[in-house]
Structure 1
Amino acid sequence: MELREELYEYGKKAKEASLKLTVASTKEKNLALRKIAENLRKNIKDIEKENEKDIVAGKERGLSKAMLDRLLLTSDRIESMASGVEKIATLTDPVGEILTGWTTEDGIKIRKVRVPIGVIAMIYESRPNVTADASALALKSGNAIILRGGKEAINSNKIIAKIIKESLDEVGLPSDSINLVQTIDREAVKILTQMVDYIDVIIPRGGSGLIKAVTENAKVPVIYHDKGLCHTYVDEMADIEMAKKICFNAKVQRPGVCNAMETMLVNKNIAEEFLPQMAEEFKKAGVELRGCKQTKQILKDIKLAEEKDWDTEYLDLILSIKMVDSVDEAITHINKHGSKHSEAIVTKDYESANKFLNGIDASTVYVNASTRFTDGAMFGFGAEIGISTNKLHARGPVALAELTTYKYIVEGNGQIR
């Protein structure tokens, strides 16, 4: 079967499955989710075995430590994956929620009600836990999903998808509610983005290359999850100890994820005191620092940052540092170089905080907290499909509510116009 024919067959099956999921009860969907979690736990050893194949292949291809970390599935991470699926079963089902309602002068009752989007195509890279997270979120929100993971995680993705499909069969929901594209041929991405008869929305999650490949070819609407080039601005009115903890956490706690800090901006009036202390902490953690000329005058042994550094998502223990004159300069820099993901200010000054919150164009803006909190679980949404840097239709963590649209239900008793 040719690739195009194969993908269109997935599309047809997904469309049929989505119509059944639309009318599935919350009880049925939750039963399926709990069965998926149960079977993920039962198959931990098999998942680890398949994941090891991906890890070995990744090392042979020279993947970075950060990328290998994103790829790795330990027993604890598989347990966390299963727990995440179970958590989604406990969340409120968004389908059927009445967003608003009213009665017209003619006595016609109108309700605006949440409904599933239909068929979602998810295109993602490296992290195999996305296979479970995306499938579970799609299922709970009544959507069918077609998954196309990266070549790095092909073996891990295959076994996770197989477990999910078998779980759906066990509880009587259509197994074609989730299908994983088995090929790593890049042509599959282009074909999926143009399947307007079967796919209602494309969600790409990965690096700039993937986002570009999808957006340039897409005929299907896109909710894209671009790179996470996140900043933390340390204001002149910052609490030094708080700023050190926040910046260290944002960079070091897990550097290979999209909500990690990539550039630290420091007000010139606090730099002499703050930078040497912060640099010492980063040095202990093995962080490579790259600074602007003013920063290098204080931290003489660090690398001089190049212009491209301000636009680089390292996903590694590398950090760019730039000294700025004011909160206004920090805002200008972030809006120019940021990816509209997550940005933070550390300050005790209300006016600076308010100016930052209002002036930054990003999905999530923080005052005195780490950017690492931009996460569906941390926001109380359960798992997430990713962090949208779109402005329409969803922005920030994309969870259950963001995987629905709405329709108007109109009830009358014989009215005509």
Structure 2
Amino acid sequence: MNATVTTLTEVQDPKALVADMGVRARSAARTLAALSSAEKAKALKSAAAAIRADADAIKQANAIDMQRAADKGLSGAMLDRLKLDDDRIEGIASGIEAVAGLNDPVGEVISESERPNGLKMRRVRIPIGVIGIIYESRPNVTADAGVLCVMSGNAAILRGGSEAIESNRAIHAALTRGLAEGGVPADAVQLVPTTDRAAVGAMLTAAGLIDMIVPRGGKSLVERVQNEARVPVLAHLDGINHTYIDAAADPDMARAVAVNAKMRRTGVCGAMETLLIDTGYADPRQIIDALADAGCEVRGDAKAQALGAGIKAANDEDWDTEYLEPIVSVKFVDGVDDAIEHIAEHASGHTDAIITGDEATAEKFLKTVDSAIVMWNASSQFADGGEFGLGAEIGISTGRLHARGPVALEGLTTYKWVVYGTGQTRP
């Protein structure tokens, strides 16, 4: 396995590189737009088979990335995001098959009507065109993003992070081979061959070549994309997610959900980062002790600190931090209104949950909290396209336009008006 990371000078000027990829992607997108749902599904199943066939090569490539990451001192959460084993590779393959089995939104008639003059109007779903995905750490995104774009009729230009370059290349090689064997042009999913940041800048300014950019990564990446992009952006911001334990919460449920929301996987964007507890809740220490027993560092306000000597003091920065580590901040609030106020001030608009047996309180929370995903009596770790029945996801959109929450096939389409006439002329 070649462990050499390609540099920009080994390929070509970044703008020329992206321009060439964009032209080829646009041509592939036209081919994709003409394929039937069955043809796209067949190609995806072929891609899944290729991923399974190349599992050993993918693991070997991942081992190189993991060693480099460990040598650089990457955190445990980052290493967990990067790691690929047999189960995760099978998860990638089965996820591709799941997308192949989804309903294809392309061609769906959203609405139709007939005007008094006899003109028939239809709004029909169509692919967006060429989508650029800029992501970090998680090599599974190479497959997830690629197959979602293909099934929705879009070509994809993928730019992964340097920490996963070998894994991304191995997954991409298997994916495109399988797609090509299934009848989809290899240029439908392209991987930028360099890790140089200049290539990101070239993608962000490739108006006319790339129709939409999707960033998946840390705050600095998303901020750069939003500041520099001359192409529409579908943004995925921090996952500063809250779970609010109401006074009417069932104690066993509250404990189980809180521990799962934080500790199931601490490095995912759906992980709880702040636990809010109603001052009227009967046994808050039970929840805090359960988190600590699970290996979580607890940082709290004065009321939380009073519950145990091991609780560190939370500062102002903690309420605005996506830890992605086994760390949680705990704050006591005076009822649901105070919880909603804290979330409005500190949340990132990703996923926020309430645990309560009071339906009226839950409904107030669900209606008032302005996040892409709001939950009642459920772990925020369910913030995932697969758990929503959407197959793989290209990201969780925290914006308010186009698509929101887990973005899958429908979120990767737009629409056009189709007008049927019988010779009408406008007076």
TM-score tier, shorter chain, comes to over 0.9
AA matched with 1:365: V
Deviations 1:352-381 (A, max 9, x none): 112211211100101111111111111111
Following the alignment from structure 2 to structure 1, what is the Cα–Cα distance between the partners of residues 71 and 193? 22
CA deviation after TM superposition for structure 1 residue 181, in Å: 0.7
Q: Could you tell me which residue of structure 2 aligns to residue 386 of structure 1?
A: 395
Is 2:100 the partner of 1:89? Answer: yes
Among 353, 357, 360, the residue aligned to 1:351: 360
Residue 274 of structure 1 deviates from its aligned partner by 2.5
Deviation of the 1:42 alpha carbon: 0.4
User: Secondary structure, in 3 states, of the residue corresponding to 2:422?
Assistant: coil
Report 1:4-403 matches (<5 A): 4-270=15-281, 273-403=282-412
Q: 1:196 is paired with a residue of what secondary structure?
A: coil
Distance in 2, Cα, partners of 1:280 & 1:105: 68
Instruction: Mark the runs of 5 or more structure 1 residues left unpaired by the alignment.
Output: none
Distance in 1 between the 2:401 and 2:186 partners? 31
The residue identity in structure 2 corresponding to 1:135 is G
Aligned 8 A contact 1:100 1:113 in 2: yes
The aligned amino acid for 1:95 is V
Equivalents in 1 of 2:183, 2:394: separation in Å?
25
Deviation digits for residues 15-34 of structure 1 (CA, Å, limit 9, x no counterpart): 11111111111121111101
| CA distance in 1: counterparts of 2:86 and 2:93, whole angstroms | 10
Contact 1:275 1:299 in 2 (8 A): no
Give the RMSD, CA atoms, in angstroms: 0.9
TM-score (norm 2): 0.96
Question: 1:6 is paired with a residue of what secondary structure?
Answer: helix
| SS in structure 1 at match of 2:325 | coil
Question: Could you say what secondary structure the match of 1:336 adopts?
Answer: helix
Deviation at 1:165, TM superposition (A): 1.7
Equivalent residue number for residue 5 of structure 2: none
SS at match of 1:323: strand
Structure 2 gap ranges (5+): 1-11
Percent identity of equivalent pairs:
48
My pick for the range that moved more, 291-300 or 45-54, is 291-300
Which ranges of 4 or more aligned residues in structure 1 deviate by more than 3 Å?
A: none
Distance 2:309 2:174 in 1: 54
Is 2:33–2:127's contact at 8 Å kept on the other side of the alignment? yes
User: Residue type matched to 1:79 in 2?
Assistant: E
1:190·1:213 contact (CA, 8 Å) conserved in 2? no
* SS of aligned partner of 2:207: coil
Structure 1 CA distance for aligned equivalents of residues 283 and 44 of structure 2: 48
Partner of 1:91, secondary structure, is: coil
Question: What SS does the aligned partner of 1:245 have?
Answer: helix
Q: Is the 8 A contact 2:58 2:167 kept in 1?
A: yes
- State which drifts further: 165-174 or 219-228: 165-174
Per-residue CA deviation, residues 241-272 of structure 1 (Å, 9 max, x unaligned), is 110111011001111100010000001111xx
Distance in 1, matches of 2:161 and 2:344, equals 30
Alpha-carbon shift at residue 350 of structure 1 (Å): 2.1
Query: Could you tell me whether the CA contact under 8 Å between 2:242 and 2:276 is conserved in 1?
Result: yes
- Between the aligned partners of 1:283 and 1:300, the Cα distance in structure 2 is 12
Return 170-179 or 9-18, whichever deviates more. 170-179
The answer for the alignment partner of 1:3 in structure 2 is 14
Distance in 2 separating the partners of 1:213 and 1:66: 23
Deviation larger for 188-197 or 117-126: 188-197
Q: Is the 8 A contact 2:45 2:100 kept in 1?
A: yes
Determine the C-alpha separation between the residues in 1 that align with 2:45 and 2:367. 42
Give a deviation string over 1:191-219, Cα, whole Å, max 9, x none.
11110111110000111100001000011
AA matched with 2:109 = I
Aligned pairs, how many? 415
Q: Deviations over 1:325-350 (max 9, x none)?
A: 12111111111111100000111122
Alpha-carbon separation, structure 2, partners of 1:164 and 1:146:
14
Q: Distance in 2 between matches of 1:384 and 1:37?
A: 16
Q: Which amino acid aligns with 2:347?
A: G
Deviation at 1:300, TM superposition (A): 3.0
- Residue 169 (structure 1) shift: 2.2
